[in-house]
């Protein structure tokens, strides 16, 4: 089980396009990958777009990622990478 | 179970009558989503999976098309929709509802997505809050695919339903079993809405504009609907029902006509049969026409098939499909297809009509058809081939001389011969009619009528050409007067000659949907009226109240008048007295301009 905090730093936040990228990426791993807002308890399934959008995470929101499963190391690296490079939206 | 508390809701009574029934809620898309117990839950789960797969394929196709057109940057919203379709949390929830409560897939989809929609609607951030519409669109698509293989049947519903909805599209009357519907209550709408007009025509008590209706009513709740006072009582107490009983019974005893309109025959008070038919422009109006009890399509304006086509020329097969739908759907009643009447106010960019100074006197109707013979023959072939599917008729527009009928008949005969050469094709006789809408046709009617099987009167054009008034020109539009004595003399002449030659004749202008004018037409001798299908129930009710003898007297009197004012005053006063209910706004519709 890995827990990692990430900051949303792209301008539009976790809007539809970014959320779609995140869901598609997360779905590639067999691990269970959950997300929650740092300021709230509710955990959502990062492989569900309706869950991810429900976070209503705008720029500056801190999220906690919890990953558990065989490929959790690869998963955490890939997902943090996606947040860090701002979903490839701003170069 | 403790009885639910009584709630009184107020709105505006748009159609009179008091009825007691049970609520049937429709969703925001006017869809009836009912919970139905399913025994084979795995088959139901399968049905859900198939609908989702079909929806995915459609979305994928849409997405590729959009990407070809505008590039992948813009297909993001469809991408999100695809992901919603695949959403495992949502899918799991829907399947759980199906399995746990033995529910039909439609119900499960609505339950699950409604919950999500509410959750999204409560978000603070506007962008994320708006995503609820994406969920609704996806749910809509799944439901659409579900309905394809399993249309909801009215068979098992009770017969004392009161429809409760946000709004109600008039075409929905066509999809309902009206024998089971006692009333209509809506959050939106008002007296002048189409739905209100039809409700009155159908004598279906209705209250509209009720705030918070859907929040206060559940399917199955007892409703006491008071269309006179504009009130709806949810879960009425016994005392309340007793206090209204007398009014309910009074309405019930006069309400025998609220049953399925399609089974009504239209007759005057003294039993003369009148045939009311529908004017339509698109095949999808068929359902409305049938629901309103139309005894056929009196005029199908085929222009729409052309105007809506990407290159303006629908092929034979495409037209054939449309005419076949109409003929089949209306059978055993007839469908009259008016051949392409491009021109005049309808700008068709395939011709130069728009560039000419006086298009309504230019190359239009049959004149254009006889110059573009290929286009005409393609249409004729499609109509003739549809003749085996029901009763179809051809009507030629803008006839002004007998030669035009001869030429058209020669072309029709050629096309018929060509079709019959192909093995395996069978054709039925197709009656031919002429539109009488030019004064020249009225004046030479005897000769023209002998050449055709029936006549259709296009009142709008007839008024325009008789009075030399372009309705589209604001400087003279006030001179467009349906009750002008010259117009009435034309109509009188048409009725007389048709009667003498025993030719069926039909009024196909919207003017026949005016109750006063309809009475006048009946009095002149017209017993076939074709109009906007929505007006049929109202006209049927009006005609049932008037004896033919009285109509004739009215017509006789009107034909001696020398001004439209005189005609209007006499006609509206006399007819109002005969029918005994208020037809207020219809009198204004045919009023001459103020002096």
**Nearest neighbour of A48 by CB, restricted to B89, B120, B125:** B89
CB-CB under 8 Å, A53 with B128: yes
Q: Which residues of A touch B88 (CB under 8 A)?
A: 45, 47-48
Residue B494: C-alpha distances to residues A34, B48, B315, B454, B571 (Å): 80, 59, 36, 12, 20
Domains and CATH numbers, chain B: 7-30+155-259 (3.50.30.10), 41-149 (1.10.274.10)
Q: Which residues of A touch B76 (CB under 8 A)?
A: 16-17, 20
User: Is A61 part of the contact surface with chain B (CB cutoff 8 Å)?
Assistant: no
Helices B316-330 and B373-386 cross at an angle (nearest 10°) of 40
What distance in Å separates the CA atoms of residue B41 and residue B475, rounded to the nearest whole number? 68
What distance in Å separates the CA atoms of residue B98 and residue B190, rounded to the nearest whole number? 38
- pLDDT above 90 covers a percentage of chain A that reads 77
Helices B515-524 and B548-558 cross at an angle (nearest 10°) of 90
Give the position of tokens 């006030």.
B478
Q: Tell whether omega for the bond before B66 is within 30 degrees of 0, i.e. cis.
A: no
User: Is A47 part of the contact surface with chain B (CB cutoff 8 Å)?
Assistant: yes
CB-CB under 8 Å, A54 with B123: yes
Displacement of CA A81 from its chain's centroid (Å): 10
User: Is B89 part of the contact surface with chain A (CB cutoff 8 Å)?
Assistant: yes
Q: Which residues of A touch B131 (CB under 8 A)?
A: 16, 53
CB-CB under 8 Å, A23 with B77: no
Q: Which residues of B touch A45 (CB under 8 A)?
A: 88-89
User: Is A51 part of the contact surface with chain B (CB cutoff 8 Å)?
Assistant: yes
Helices B485-501 and B459-467 cross at an angle (nearest 10°) of 130
**Nearest neighbour of A20 by CB, restricted to B83, B88, B119:** B83
**What's the token pair of residue B394?**
């051809």
The answer to whether the beta carbons of residues B83 and A20 sit under 8 Å apart is yes
List the catalytic residue out of B29, B150, B194, B388.
B194
What distance in Å separates the CA atoms of residue B373 and residue B369, rounded to the nearest whole number? 6
Residue of A nearest to B121 (CA): A54
Q: For residue B345, what pLDDT is reported?
A: 40
- The alpha carbon torsion through A69, A73, A78, A84 (nearest 10 deg) reads 120
Q: Which residues of B touch A16 (CB under 8 A)?
A: 76-77, 79-80, 131, 134
Catalytic machinery residues of A: 15
**Nearest neighbour of B80 by CB, restricted to A20, A54, A58:** A20
A16: closest CA of chain B, how far (Å): 6
B218: closest CA of chain A, how far (Å): 28
Task: Please choose, from the candidates B362, B441, B443, the residue with its C-alpha nearest in 3D space to the C-alpha of residue B399.
Answer: B441
Q: For residue B258, what pLDDT is reported?
A: 40
CB-CB under 8 Å, B79 with A20: yes
**Nearest neighbour of B87 by CB, restricted to A15, A24, A50:** A50
User: Is B447 part of the contact surface with chain A (CB cutoff 8 Å)?
Assistant: no
Q: Which residues of B touch A47 (CB under 8 A)?
A: 88
CB-CB under 8 Å, A49 with B87: yes
Q: For residue B259, what pLDDT is reported?
A: 40
User: Is B122 part of the contact surface with chain A (CB cutoff 8 Å)?
Assistant: no
Task: Please choose, from the candidates B244, B231, B240, the residue with its C-alpha nearest in 3D space to the C-alpha of residue B10.
Answer: B231
Fold of A2-88: 3.30.1340
DSSP letter, residue B61: H
User: Is A11 part of the contact surface with chain B (CB cutoff 8 Å)?
Assistant: no
What distance in Å separates the CA atoms of residue A19 and residue B84, rounded to the nearest whole number? 11
User: Is B566 part of the contact surface with chain A (CB cutoff 8 Å)?
Assistant: no
Give the position of tokens 């639910």.
B4
Domain ranges (residues) in chain A: 2-88
Q: Which contacts qualify for B408-412: CB closer than 8 Å, 24 or more apart?
A: B408/B366, B408/B369, B408/B370, B408/B376, B408/B432, B409/B451, B411/B370, B411/B373, B411/B376, B411/B377, B411/B380, B412/B380, B412/B384
The answer to whether the beta carbons of residues B4 and B221 sit under 8 Å apart is yes
Displacement of CA B365 from its chain's centroid (Å): 25
User: Is B43 part of the contact surface with chain A (CB cutoff 8 Å)?
Assistant: no
Is B508 tagged catalytic?
yes
Query: Within 10 Å of residue B565's Cβ, how many Cβ atoms?
Result: 16
CB-CB under 8 Å, A58 with B79: no
Percentages (nearest 5) of helix, strand, coil residues in chain A: 35, 25, 40
A45: closest CA of chain B, how far (Å): 8
- Buried b vs exposed e over B404-436: b needs ≥16 C-beta within 10 Å? bbebbeebbeebbeebeeeeeeeeeebbbbbbb
**Nearest neighbour of B84 by CB, restricted to A17, A24, A50:** A50
**What's the token pair of residue B465?**
């050409």
- Buried b vs exposed e over B379-390: b needs ≥16 C-beta within 10 Å? bbbbbbbbbebb
Encode chain B (595 residues) as per-residue pLDDT tens digits.
Answer: 456 899 999 999 988 889 999 998 886 655 666 677 788 999 999 999 999 999 999 888 878 877 776 666 667 777 888 999 999 999 999 999 999 989 889 889 988 998 898 899 889 888 898 888 889 889 888 988 887 544 455 666 788 899 999 888 766 665 667 778 899 999 988 776 767 867 876 778 999 999 889 888 888 889 999 998 999 999 999 999 999 998 888 777 654 444 444 456 788 989 899 999 999 887 767 877 887 789 999 999 998 788 767 777 889 999 999 999 999 999 999 999 999 987 644 444 544 454 566 777 888 899 999 998 999 999 999 999 999 999 999 999 999 999 999 999 999 999 999 999 988 778 899 999 999 999 999 999 999 999 999 999 999 999 999 999 987 777 887 888 999 999 999 999 999 999 999 999 999 988 998 999 999 999 999 999 999 887 888 898 889 889 999 999 999 999 999 999 999 999 999 999 988 777 766 888 888 887 6
What distance in Å separates the CA atoms of residue B275 and residue B456, rounded to the nearest whole number? 14
List the catalytic residue out of B292, B456, B508, B551.
B508
Give the position of tokens 């705030």.
B211
Residue of A nearest to B73 (CA): A17
The answer to whether the beta carbons of residues B273 and B264 sit under 8 Å apart is no
Q: For residue B1, what pLDDT is reported?
A: 41
Q: For residue B451, what pLDDT is reported?
A: 97
User: Is A58 part of the contact surface with chain B (CB cutoff 8 Å)?
Assistant: yes
Residue B327: C-alpha distances to residues A23, B6, B297, B338 (Å): 51, 50, 9, 14
Q: For residue B175, what pLDDT is reported?
A: 62
Q: Which residues of A touch B135 (CB under 8 A)?
A: 50
User: Is B125 part of the contact surface with chain A (CB cutoff 8 Å)?
Assistant: yes
Q: For residue B514, what pLDDT is reported?
A: 92
Q: For residue B58, what pLDDT is reported?
A: 85
CB-CB under 8 Å, A24 with B89: no
What distance in Å separates the CA atoms of residue B314 and residue B263, rounded to the nearest whole number? 36
Q: Which residues of B touch A48 (CB under 8 A)?
A: 87-90
Q: Which residues of A touch B119 (CB under 8 A)?
A: 54
């Amino acid at each position: 089980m890995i827990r990692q905090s990430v900051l949303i730093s792209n301008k539009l936040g976790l809007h539809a396009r970014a959320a779609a990228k995140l869901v598609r990426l997360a779905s590639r791993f067999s691990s269970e990958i959950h997300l929650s807002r740092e300021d709230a308890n509710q955990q959502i399934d990062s492989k569900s777009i309706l869950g991810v959008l429900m976070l209503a995470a705008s720029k500056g929101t801190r999220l906690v990622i919890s990953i558990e499963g065989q490929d959790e190391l690869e998963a955490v690296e890939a997902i943090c990478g996606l947040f860090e490079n701002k979903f490839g939206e701003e170069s | 179970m403790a009885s639910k508390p009584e709630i009184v809701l107020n709105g505006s009574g748009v159609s009179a009558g008091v009825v007691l029934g049970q609520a049937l809620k429709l969703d925001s898309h006017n869809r009836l989503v009912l919970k139905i117990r399913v025994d084979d839950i795995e088959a139901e789960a399968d049905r859900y999976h198939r609908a989702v797969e079909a929806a995915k394929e459609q979305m994928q196709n849409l997405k590729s098309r959009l990407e070809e057109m505008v590039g992948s940057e813009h297909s993001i919203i469809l991408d999100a929709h695809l992901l919603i379709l695949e959403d495992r949390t949502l899918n799991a929830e829907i399947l759980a509802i199906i399995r746990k409560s033995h529910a039909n897939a439609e119900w499960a989809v609505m339950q699950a997505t409604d919950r999500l929609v509410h959750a999204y609607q409560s978000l603070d951030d506007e962008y994320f809050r708006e995503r609820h519409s994406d969920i609704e669109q996806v749910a809509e698509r799944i439901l659409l695919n579900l309905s394809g293989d399993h249309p909801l049947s009215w068979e098992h519903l009770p017969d004392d339903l009161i429809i409760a909805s946000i709004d109600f599209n008039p075409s929905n009357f066509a999809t309902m079993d009206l024998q089971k519907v006692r009333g209509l209550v809506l959050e939106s709408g008002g007296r002048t809405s189409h739905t209100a007009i039809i409700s009155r025509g159908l004598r279906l008590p209705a209250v509209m504009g009720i705030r918070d209706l859907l929040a206060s009513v559940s399917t199955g709740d007892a409703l006491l609907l008071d269309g006179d006072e504009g009130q709806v009582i949810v879960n009425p107490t016994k005392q309340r029902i007793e206090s209204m009983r007398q009014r309910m019974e009074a309405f019930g005893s006069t309400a025998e006509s609220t049953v399925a309109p399609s089974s009504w025959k239209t007759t005057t008070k003294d039993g003369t049969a009148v045939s009311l038919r529908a004017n339509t422009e698109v095949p999808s109006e068929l359902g409305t026409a049938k629901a309103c009890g139309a005894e056929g399509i009196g005029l199908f304006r085929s222009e729409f098939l052309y105007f809506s086509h990407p290159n303006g020329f629908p092929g034979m097969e495409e037209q054939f499909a449309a005419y076949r739908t109409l003929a089949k759907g209306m059978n055993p009643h007839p469908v009259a297809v008016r051949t392409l009447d491009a021109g005049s106010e309808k700008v068709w960019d395939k011709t130069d009509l728009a560039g000419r100074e006086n298009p309504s006197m230019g190359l239009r109707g049959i004149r254009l058809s006889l110059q573009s013979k290929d286009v005409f023959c393609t249409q004729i072939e499609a109509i003739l081939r549809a003749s085996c599917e029901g009763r179809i008729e051809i009507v030629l527009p803008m006839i002004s001389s007998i030669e035009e009928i001869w030429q058209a008949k020669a072309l029709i005969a050629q096309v018929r011969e060509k079709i019959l050469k192909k093995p395996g094709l069978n054709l039925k006789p197709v009656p031919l009619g002429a539109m009488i809408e030019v004064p020249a046709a009225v004046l030479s009617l005897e000769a023209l009528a002998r050449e055709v099987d029936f006549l259709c009167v296009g009142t709008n054009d007839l008024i325009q050409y008789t009075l030399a008034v372009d309705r589209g020109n604001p400087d003279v539009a006030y001179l467009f007067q349906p009750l002008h004595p010259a117009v009435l003399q034309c109509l009188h002449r048409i009725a007389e000659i048709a009667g003498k030659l025993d030719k069926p004749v039909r009024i196909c202008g919207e003017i026949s949907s005016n109750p006063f004018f309809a009475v006048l037409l009946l009095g002149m001798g017209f017993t076939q009226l074709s109009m906007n299908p929505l007006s049929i129930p109202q006209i049927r009710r009006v005609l049932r109240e008037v004896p033919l003898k009285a109509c004739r007297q009215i017509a006789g009197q009107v034909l001696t008048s020398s001004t439209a004012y005189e005609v209007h005053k006499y006609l509206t006063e006399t007819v109002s007295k005969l029918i005994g209910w208020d037809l207020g706004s219809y009198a204004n519709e045919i009023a001459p301009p103020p002096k």
